[in-house]
Structure 1
């Protein structure tokens, strides 16, 4: 099978797959002419790398996992090391899932608040919006801290208070 077919099925680029190959993570067969021939097992390996990479795992981390069996002297050693690393990955994913759940809830609260401003004709600046009752809930919503304009410190040497 051609690498372009695999790339299309996995929704990635040929360049990404070639990079994994260059890193020694996937080893296709070669025809006598030198043309690479990718198997279903190669595609599965690419898919596994991509799946974890897309979740934020580094290539070094994935390469380490992929090399455990080869670097182990016994099946017992390999299985224990693989189990340990998979447990670490599972724990990282669980933590990320908690963080995603929190962020999604924060974004949902932000959407409820922001949609209350849909027909507002005022200029969206701190001095104006701070007078609006909708902004009272602003500080409880993390993502809106990115949207709400920052307080600008007074440049006066006497007070150093926000404007």
Structure 2
């Protein structure tokens, strides 16, 4: 098959497929080297991809973008081909998929917690609107971001870098990485604070001071 015949058949070249997914031809070649996809070649060695090849790559690439290890993706792609019986392939694939579902559920819980934290941080930051002071704990010691520092991890990134950590510490220790397979369960405190955005500003200020008051009393 030459390139013209391949084009008439609707087959795509490696660069075209890479453009569809916003990646590089080298990525597709690497997946081919791992045996995950198997494009055809023209008489002159040009790789061409059918719709089935593209769909296969799409699934593998999406899993990779979610942080699924390449070895796991490779196992998904090759287990059925290498199995001696349907029972063997079915059981092995089921075990792999069970692990993926569990990992994705952890990621979803982690992302949901981070969303709630961002919403709490946004709420505190909006209390700074119309403030004329320079935004720092020295020039604006009563800043809502200073008072409510323990209510959102985001504020530790947006506020003064040299601020000391209180005895209470952050709501959630910085021990996770987004899209990791070993993400922890979301703390129950995060769920309890999910309705913060529906509380009126006066109540938010009272709630925000409570952790600081408890810290002072503990000393």
Please give the range of the TM-score, normalised by the shorter of the 2 chains.
0.7 to 0.9
* Aligned counterpart in structure 2 of residue 69 of structure 1, from 50, 65, 80: 80
Relative to structure 1, the CA distance from residue 133 to residue 110 in structure 2 (aligned partners, 3 Å threshold; closer, same or farther) is closer
Report the counterpart of residue 125 of structure 1 in structure 2: 136
* Aligned counterpart in structure 1 of residue 53 of structure 2, from 39, 42, 51: 42
Report the counterpart of residue 39 of structure 2 in structure 1: 28
Name which structure has the greater RCO, CA cutoff 8 Å, separation 6+: 2
Report the counterpart of residue 160 of structure 1 in structure 2: none
Distance 1:136 1:125 in 2: 12
Report the counterpart of residue 95 of structure 1 in structure 2: 106
Offset of residue 41 of structure 1? 1.1
Distance 1:137 1:102 in 2: 18
Q: Which runs of 5+ in 1 are unaligned?
A: 154-163
Offset of residue 128 of structure 1? 3.3
Offset of residue 67 of structure 1? 2.1
Does the alignment pair 1:109 with 2:120? yes
Distance 2:107 2:121 in 1: 21
Distance 1:118 1:23 in 2: 53
* SS in structure 2 of the partner of residue 37 of structure 1: strand
Distance 1:34 1:109 in 2: 56
Q: How many residues align?
A: 153
Offset of residue 21 of structure 1? 1.7
User: How high is the TM-score relative to the length of structure 1?
Assistant: 0.83
* Aligned counterpart in structure 2 of residue 59 of structure 1, from 58, 63, 70: 70
* Aligned counterpart in structure 1 of residue 148 of structure 2, from 124, 137, 142: 137
RMSD (Å), alpha carbons: 1.9
Distance 1:133 1:112 in 2: 10
Report the counterpart of residue 158 of structure 1 in structure 2: none
Offset of residue 61 of structure 1? 2.0
User: How high is the TM-score relative to the length of structure 2?
Assistant: 0.63
Q: Which runs of 5+ in 2 are unaligned?
A: 1-11, 165-219
